[in-house]
Amino acid sequence: MHMPLKKSSHFGPFMMLCAALLFSTGGLLCKFIPWSPLTINGVRSLFSTLVFLIYFRATHHKLKFNRTVLFGALCMTGVTTLFIIANKMTTAANAIILQYTAPVWIILFMALLFHVRPTKLDIATCAIVFAGILCFFLDSLGSGSMVGNVIAVLSGVFYGGLFLLNQFPEGDAVSSMVLGQIISAVLMAPMIVRETVFTPSVLLAVFLLGFFQVGVAYLCFSIGTKYTRPVSASLIAGIEPILNPILVAVFWGETIAPLSMAGAAIVVIAILSYNILGASAPSAEAHPASDISQ
């Protein structure tokens, strides 16, 4: 979907880079906090909501509420909650790579909901990505991470749902994001009464996770995709699934098994190639499913 570029050629890519770098700290911070996944998501949502409220106040952006915005809010709640759970139940690499399959779900949603016929490139990409996903699940047999991998895939499904908001004129991504964070905070933050570890380092990690890794990151992402060409935005966003497991490996010593590593390479290469080929096609701008960054 075409969006006019109004800022300088460096502004949009810089914002996308900031978003990708902030997103990539999620696995590292999640592993550091000894709380249940739901508690972490609820409390961090309090801090991320603060970021959005500051943004609304500073820009005078009016909060919208309709069915499309509510759909986006539920997707936002789903992706943040499931990603946190997946990080606790499988490796950070598995969690982020399997979430990175979102473009595949966008293709399927477009076909089912909007009757947009998939192209040969769409079908080929789906087949290749599913082959990569199969590597993760074959590798997790007997390792106890099968459920975590399933949850990570589901987080990718919800993440893909966020990008469907661009197909509805009444959609408002920022409103969906803040409402999604409010829902998470209301439903899950009270679970903090069950936790027992409240060291300064843990509380700092939760704050960083909510305020920067979710709040500031999603604002940068929203702004960056407005002023960055599709292929550039997609390539920059590809930093996250690469840097996320590297940070966890460096600080926690968590490694990715050979078969999962092969699956990761298949998924990342397939998605990046899909964006490059899709953006270069004559109808790429008119094909909503061809760009995850819209």
What's the pLDDT at 9?
66
Query: In the predicted model, what is the mean pLDDT of residues 20-37?
Result: 90
What's the residue count for the chain?
Answer: 294
162 exposed, middle or buried (CB, 10 Å; 0-12, 13-18, 19+)?
buried
253 torsion bin: left (phi>0), alpha (psi -120 to 50), beta (else): left
pLDDT reported for residue 3: 45
> Does residue 89 surpass a pLDDT of 80?
yes
Give the pLDDT band of residue 256 (cuts 50, 70, 90).
Answer: confident
What is the DSSP secondary-structure string of 108-158? HHHHHHS--PPPHHHHHHHHHHHHHHHHHHHHHTTTT-HHHHHHHHHHHHH
The angle subtended at Cα 230 by Cα 179 and Cα 239, nearest 5°, is 75
**Residue 41 to residue 63: CA distance in whole angstroms:** 22
**Mean pLDDT, residues 250-270:** 84
Q: Is residue 208 pLDDT above 90, yes or no?
A: yes
Contact 169, 66 (CB under 8 A): no
> Pick from 38, 260, 245: which is nearest to 146 by CA?
260
Q: How confident is the model at residue 142 (pLDDT cuts 50, 70, 90)?
A: low
Poorest-pLDDT segment among 2-16, 212-226, 228-242, 280-294: 280-294
What does the alpha-carbon distance between residue 166 and residue 292 come to, in Å, rounded to a whole number?
Answer: 11
Long-range contacts of 120-127 (CB under 8 A, 24+ apart): 121/274, 121/277, 121/278, 121/281, 121/290, 122/289, 122/290, 125/270, 125/271, 125/273, 125/274
Average pLDDT over the chain reads 83
pLDDT tens for 6-27 read 555 678 888 888 998 999 998 8
**With bands split at pLDDT 50, 70 and 90, how would you rate the model's confidence at 133?**
confident
The residue ranking higher by pLDDT, 180 or 3, is 180
Residue type, 78: G
pLDDT-based confidence at 280, cuts 50/70/90? low
Between CA 107 and CA 287 the distance in angstroms is 10
For 145-202, the pLDDT digits (tens) are 788 889 999 999 998 888 777 567 787 888 898 999 999 999 999 999 999 999 999 9
pTM: 0.81
Q: What is the pLDDT of residue 223?
A: 81
What is the pLDDT, as a whole number, of residue 229? 65
Average pLDDT of span 219-247: 75
Pairwise CA distance, residues 8 & 18, whole Å: 16
